[in-house]
């Protein structure tokens, strides 16, 4: 059993409160939606994944990017992070999603970053465990060997569910 000692500030005074929590009690609280769940969140963060992609249309003398970097933040269920025992069946396995994103990036020419981001968002929404999605795709350099330019998409739970519904209807 875990023992946490917490100091609460009440006015100008501190009070000590002892909490005895087991992993099962914490997990049950998250699953049942008790007060412990309020304000709780869990995310998977992927930063600076270099995508091998054919992206953009450039004329003579235009700066062509050397690299396209993906940042991805996925909101998932808290109970896939607060787990009672160690095992892949308890958590979101992000490896298949990353492989799908790499496949999409290499799937022919994209004229715009926005189209690739749209396809990545759809791939993320295909996983029911993902509740929200934030994608940023950056290219660098932008001009004269410097700078980066990115497009960011943020989908909250409602927008992610809407995307899922559109996929289910074949839109």
Q: Using only C-alpha atoms, what is the Rg of the chain?
A: 21
Whether residue 55 contacts residue 68, with contact meaning beta carbons closer than 8 Å, is answered with yes
Residues near 12 by beta carbon (within 8 Å), at least 6 away in sequence: none
Residues near 130 by beta carbon (within 8 Å), at least 6 away in sequence: 74, 75, 76, 92, 124, 160
Q: Which of these, 123, 154, 131, lies nearest to 79 by C-alpha position? A: 131
| Degrees to nearest 5, angle at CA 161 with 151 and 55 | 25
Q: What is the pLDDT of residues 113-154, one digit of tens each?
A: 999 999 999 999 999 999 999 999 999 999 888 999 999 999
User: What's the average model confidence in pLDDT over 38-54?
Assistant: 90
Distance, in Å, from the CA atom of 170 to the CA atom of 11, rounded to the nearest integer, reads 57
Position 35 confidence tier, pLDDT thresholds 50, 70, 90:
very low
CATH domain 41-168 topology? GTP Cyclohydrolase I, domain 2 (3.30.1130)
* Average pLDDT in the chain: 83
Domain ranges across the chain:
1-40, 41-168
Q: What is the pLDDT of residues 149-171, one digit of tens each?
A: 999 999 999 999 999 999 888 86
């Amino acid at each position: 059993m875990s023992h946490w000692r917490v100091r609460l500030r009440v006015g100008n005074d501190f009070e000590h409160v002892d909490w005895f929590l087991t992993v099962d009690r914490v997990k049950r609280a998250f699953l049942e939606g008790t007060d412990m769940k309020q304000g709780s969140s869990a995310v998977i963060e992927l930063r600076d994944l270099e995508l091998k992609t054919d992206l953009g249309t450039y004329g003579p003398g235009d700066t062509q990017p050397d690299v396209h970097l993906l940042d991805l933040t996925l909101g998932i269920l808290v109970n896939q992070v607060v787990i009672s025992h160690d095992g892949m069946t308890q958590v979101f396995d992000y490896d298949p999603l990353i492989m799908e994103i790499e496949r999409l990036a290499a799937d022919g020419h994209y004229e715009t970053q926005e189209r690739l981001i749209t396809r990545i968002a759809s791939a993320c929404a295909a996983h029911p465990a993902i509740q929200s999605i934030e994608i940023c795709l950056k290219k660098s350099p932008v001009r004269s060997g410097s700078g980066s330019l990115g497009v960011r998409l943020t989908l909250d739970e409602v927008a992610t569910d809407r995307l899922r519904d559109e996929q289910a209807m074949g839109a």
